[in-house]
Amino acid sequence: MNKSKQNGHKPGKKSKKKHEKKSSALTTKKGNKSQGKPSITKKRQGNKKTITAEVTCTGLTNEGKGIVQWDGKQLEVEHLLPGETAEITLSTSGRYVNTELKRVIASSKDRIKPVCSYYYDCGGCQLQHMNEQAQKRFKQETIDELMKPFGKPEPILTMDHPYDYRNKSHTTFGLNKERQIIGGLYAQNSHQLISMDRCLIHDPKADEIWQTIKDMMKSFKMQPYNEDTGRGFLRHVLVKVGKVSGEIMVVLVVASPIFKGKNNFVKALRKAHPEITTILMNVNNRDTSMVLGGQEKVLFGKGTITDTLCGMKFDISAKSFYQINPVQTEKLYAKAIEMAQLTGSETVIDAYCGIGTIGLIASQKAGKVIGVELNKDAVRDAIRNSKRNGVKNARFYQGDSGEFMMEMAARGEKADVVIMDPPRSGSDEAFLSSVVKLKPERIVYVSCNPVTQVRDMRYLVQNGYKVKGMQPVDMFPQTVHVENVAEIVLK
């Protein structure tokens, strides 16, 4: 499945005010109440009242926001840490209260200066104001609290160098007030473009390449696309890097299939970056927040790159879903295969199989692997990856995984292990009921959203299964996101 797991660089809607958020009730940790002390400063603008208050943070939400109490309400404040006293601005409008951190009066020992100069504007990372130990503790406590109904998870697997890990980046271009071309990322949940020259969790080579493209745009008279007017040409630049192979793909996402001077542009880009192994043009002429369109043309190279994961080679296309942090992915998949307890005779279902990564890795220890995926492009890639690695005991099918398993059960066929790696929304009840109907001895549930994983595991536990073990993995350092793999067995 062409899943999106990534962390904070996606378009949405947001107020132009920095750091201003509506409060909402979320699962919290260490949320002891401490009444805030309003100061004398008060302002009223129409129906909106603004108050400056001194508050103390008593814990963190699952999204890493500080918990404070004010006027009998529990509020959230971005970038505030437990134990800190701070001055905040509260803007009240009806029953909604927005908060903004003004200054920290008494700092936590866990607070550090963010290494990224764009941190407070971008929002793609949420935890850079915490030191590494505090980030680790926050993620462990979050997982422990969520998974409490099923037991205690193992200690989280962290990353030695928690920067430069993303093997995929996409950059957007626009014009500043001086009508100069800028490039960067959207602020979290918005279409506000933050001009930058480096993202510290991107592969450095990816940032070098898009910077070169930005500099080339003027000489090639290439205008950035404007979402409001529908004018302009270059919408995004997508860069994928093979961390092991060193191969690099560049995708120019454009608003029109008419690319004047494309041969000279490609030639100039290749001259500046001979390490690029393929360049594609993707046409997206729709009024949409989706990055990629349906029309694609290879301008240079074979149109894919290859990378190695857990000793196997995988072809990666522009639209392929491929885990963005291969270093941590190897830890995640190794744990998933360990939980599957394969001896060489088992039939394994790889649900939501994508391009076949985990299924093909499992095939080395299984009797037979059956991968099922709705996305036809991903299935094509999975079949190609199977052939590339000489795998004879894996088959891949396009279709709905739940329906596929129901049909297997109706035919009296069995599966010993189901490996499931759904999108952030988790699985639906139809899929889970099909797993229960097929009745595998073991389920390995890989999740990029532990909140929906808890919901799905609760269903499985209520229908004849028990959770035997859980392993969180920090796939996205500097962000609040964490992956968790669970071993679930028949009672």
Do you know the residue count of the chain? 491
DSSP string of 4-23? ----S-------SSTT-EE-
* C-alpha span between 267 and 38 (Å, rounded): 62
* C-alpha span between 26 and 49 (Å, rounded): 24
For 269, list phi and psi in degrees, rounded to 5: -65, -40
| CA 210 to each of CA 156, 207, 214, 423, 465: distance values in angstroms, whole numbers, following the listed order | 34, 5, 6, 28, 49
Is 448 designated active site? yes
As given in the structure block, the two tokens for residue 36 are 């805030």
**In 53-131, where does DSSP find H-type helix?**
119-122
* C-alpha span between 232 and 432 (Å, rounded): 46
State the DSSP code for 208.
H
Residue 396 is inside which H or E element, if any? strand 394-398
- 421 annotated ligand binder: yes
Please report, in angstroms and rounded to a whole number, the separation of the first and last CA atoms in the chain. Answer: 30
Does residue 217 contact residue 228 with C-beta atoms inside 8 Å?
no
248 Cβ contact list (under 8 Å, min separation 6):
205, 206, 209, 239, 240, 241, 242, 273, 275, 276, 277, 278, 305
* C-alpha span between 451 and 146 (Å, rounded): 7
- 352 annotated ligand binder: yes
- 69 annotated ligand binder: no
- 100 annotated ligand binder: no
* C-alpha span between 196 and 277 (Å, rounded): 25
Active site residues: 448
Residue numbering of the annotated binding site for S-adenosyl-L-methionine: 323, 352, 373, 421
